[in-house]
Amino acid sequence: MLGDMQIQPADRSQRRNAVIIIVVAAIALIVLFVAFDHWLQHAAQRMSTTELVTSVERMISACVILMSLCLLLLGRHLLLRGRRIVRDRRYPANDARPLRATPVREGDDAVRIGNASRVAGLIACLLGVAIAIAGWFWVAQMG
């Protein structure tokens, strides 16, 4: 039976795009970290403590918003992917472009994977909302 298993081949262009995005994101994060460190050193000399704390609090608020947004987008992706897998009763879904060669699962096995993706998507969305709410209370408490 294992020899008869269908394999959906990897999409090389999708893999290349994923690597490029990860490398660009890593470089951007390093640049942002260095820029923030540089800004913080100069800001500490130019600003009063109150102004510096207010500026850093704004940046933290922006980070909380971005974290929530990322989790909500991930959750949405997982929910939609899971729905497509359950609908098609096939994993990977018919329109998927996998990064690596993936054994195709059909029927109940695929539905289980699809439902797991939906649960993970729901959890990611709930975490995104929870972080947004916690951030809201945190900002309100600071102000």
DSSP 3-state of 106: strand
* Cα Rg of the chain (Å, integer): 22
Q: Predicted confidence band at 48 (pLDDT cuts at 50, 70, 90)?
A: very high
Q: Model confidence over 111-141: pLDDT tens digits?
A: 999 999 999 999 999 999 999 999 888 877 8
Distances (CA, A) of 119 to 83, 128, 136: 11, 14, 26
pTM, two decimals, is: 0.82
- Tell me the pLDDT tens digit for each residue of 5-16: 799 999 999 999
Supply φ then ψ for residue 102, to 5 degrees: -130, 130
What's the one-letter identity of residue 71? Answer: L
Residue 60 dihedral angles phi and psi, to the nearest 5°: -65, -40
